Amino acid sequence: MQTKTNLLGLSRTGLDAFFQSIGEKKFRTKQLMQWVYQRQVVDFDAMTDLSVQLREKLKTTASLAMPIVVHKEFSTDGTRKFVLELDSGNRVEAVFIPEGQRGTLCISTQVGCALDCKFCSTGKQGFFSDLTSAEIVSQVWIAAQSFGVPENIGHKPVTNIVLMGMGEPLLNFGPCIEAIHVMLDDFAYSISKRRLTLSTSGIAPKIRELADHVDVALALSLHAPNDELHDEIVPINKKYPIQEVLDACREYLSRFSARKRVIIEYVLLDGVNDKFEHAHQLVKLLQDFPCKINLIPFNPFPHAPYKRPNGQRIQKFKDVLAQAGFVTTVRTTRGEDIDAACGQLVGQVADKTRRSQDWQAAVWKKMQPSV
Ligand code: SAH
Ligand code: SF4
């Protein structure tokens, strides 16, 4: 039997090639993308401006397949969490966070992560697999779908997308680029390139390469002001030390005249990287680096080796940066009643869905501190 091509997550170029391969004109790309992403329709039979003959052809040659939503939770503060099960049985999460007119969707790019940052529950679980472009884009489709069809609700619920869920996007490069193209496309979600942010732990060569493909906002995870401490918390720093990564970011910015700065994400770990001296070192390190700084108070998870600093420590750290002239924000935790905070994605659904128990057991085992 001929294997069907999954059209979900294919960029305009990919769809053009598909339609050509089945003897159809390129304008079908626009029609299909609008049905799938703007009207949220994934049933070929319902695509009424395609001829019956083409719909039949699509049914035999193509699919619009996405992961199953095995769990969803809506918080009292409007945050929505979706747990998706992939064909492999692995699970990932996406979280929607509303704030005034803005609706930010945080999506995953890998199942687990190989980089083992010491404060990250995804890292503690190890690496399971890369997501396909379809699996990445599906998270947007599923979140949007939870609000109904945009024409009916009168607005687009997802205005901003951040690649800040599970995984390191730059280590799943091709599928992430393909998915980003779909998210930015006017025929699809038409997310503004200022409102799509890719967060990386600092894979220097890939940051440079990114500029050859897409112009999106860049967030850099930098959790210590010196290599010695960063090596300890973020092991990939040994391969790509701080200065090399900052240089790669500068080069990225230089490729886009409208892109003025990078967002620095700094997770505050009590007594580890949140001291007065660290704040001053950070000021020195970043004095000529075009950035704004987002401080993220550590979100605890079971067996985590760190604690979240108290409000006073956080404020003191922030004040040093702000007084030195940095635009500095502190990320507030949202959706706490549904465990939707940073670094807490996946890990608590075992008692709610039976099928996940084996998988969950494996994860917990991996999360036990090694002796
Ligand atoms: N791999 C990428 C993107 C995913 S992590 C990266 O590291 O940037 C997204 C953000 O969540 C990163 O800034 C990371 O430092 C932060 N994060 C991970 N675990 C966290 C935790 N337990 N508490 C607070 N922030 C966390
Ligand atoms: Fe991976 Fe990012 Fe977590 Fe580090 S912080 S382990 S890079 S997901």
**CB of residue 306 inside a 6 A radius of ligand 1:** no
Q: What number is the average pLDDT over the span 208-229?
A: 98
**CB of residue 304 inside a 6 A radius of ligand 2:** no
CA of 267 to the centre of ligand 1 (A): 8
Whether the pLDDT of residue 364 is over 50: the answer is no
Whether the pLDDT of residue 25 is over 50: the answer is yes
Q: Classify the C-alpha dihedral 336-366-203-241 as positive or negative.
A: positive
HEC-encoded secondary structure of 239-287: CCCHHHHHHHHHHHHHCCCCCCCEEEEEEECCCCCCCHHHHHHHHHHCC
Which atom, in ligand 2's list, is nearest to the CA of 123? 6
Residue 140 near residue 84 (C-beta atoms within 8 A): no
Whether the pLDDT of residue 331 is over 60: the answer is yes
pLDDT confidence of residue 333: 73
pLDDT confidence of residue 166: 96
pLDDT confidence of residue 131: 98
pLDDT confidence of residue 334: 72
**CB of residue 216 inside a 6 A radius of ligand 2:** no
Looking at the chain, the number of H-run helices and the number of E-run strands are 13, 14
Strand arrangement, sheet containing 217-221: 68-74, 80-85, 91-99, 102-106, 160-163, 196-200, 217-221, 262-268, 291-297, 328-330
Q: Which two tokens stand for residue 145?
A: 């779908």
Mutate to test the pocket of ligand 2, among 110, 116, 122, 166 (most ligand atoms within 8 A of CB): 122
d(CA 208, CA 370): 35
CA of 200 to the centre of ligand 1 (A): 9
Tell me the per-residue pLDDT of 264-273, one tens digit each, with 9 for 90 and over.
999 999 999 9
Whether the pLDDT of residue 366 is over 70: the answer is no
Residue 108 near residue 332 (C-beta atoms within 8 A): no
DSSP 195: G
Q: Using pLDDT thresholds of 50, 70 and 90, give the confidence band for residue 332.
A: confident
CA of 155 to the centre of ligand 1 (A): 30
Tell me the per-residue pLDDT of 272-322, one tens digit each, with 9 for 90 and over.
999 999 999 999 999 999 999 999 999 999 999 999 999 999 999 999 999
Q: Between residues 335 and 275, which one has the greater pLDDT?
A: 275
Tell me the per-residue pLDDT of 221-249, one tens digit each, with 9 for 90 and over.
999 999 999 999 999 999 999 999 999 99
- DSSP H or E stretch at residue 276: helix 276-285
pLDDT confidence of residue 348: 42
CA of 201 to the centre of ligand 1 (A): 8
Q: What number is the average pLDDT over the span 7-16?
A: 98
Least confident of 61-75, 130-144, 340-354: 340-354
Whether the pLDDT of residue 357 is over 80: the answer is no
Q: Using pLDDT thresholds of 50, 70 and 90, give the confidence band for residue 359.
A: very low
**CB of residue 266 inside a 6 A radius of ligand 1:** no
Mutate to test the pocket of ligand 1, among 109, 127, 164, 301 (most ligand atoms within 8 A of CB): 164
pLDDT confidence of residue 365: 36
- DSSP H or E stretch at residue 330: strand 328-330
Residues known to be catalytic: 93, 342
Whether the pLDDT of residue 363 is over 50: the answer is no
pLDDT confidence of residue 245: 98
Minimal-distance CA residue to ligand 2 atom 8: 167
CA of 185 to the centre of ligand 2 (A): 28
**CB of residue 343 inside a 6 A radius of ligand 1:** yes
Tell me the per-residue pLDDT of 42-97, one tens digit each, with 9 for 90 and over.
999 999 999 999 999 999 999 999 999 999 999 999 999 999 999 999 999 999 99
- Ligand nearest to the backbone CA of 330: 1
- DSSP H or E stretch at residue 124: helix 121-125
d(CA 215, CA 196): 9
Name the percent of the chain lying above pLDDT 90. 84
Q: What number is the average pLDDT over the span 248-262?
A: 94
Q: Using pLDDT thresholds of 50, 70 and 90, give the confidence band for residue 150.
A: low
Whether the pLDDT of residue 369 is over 70: the answer is no
Whether the pLDDT of residue 149 is over 80: the answer is no
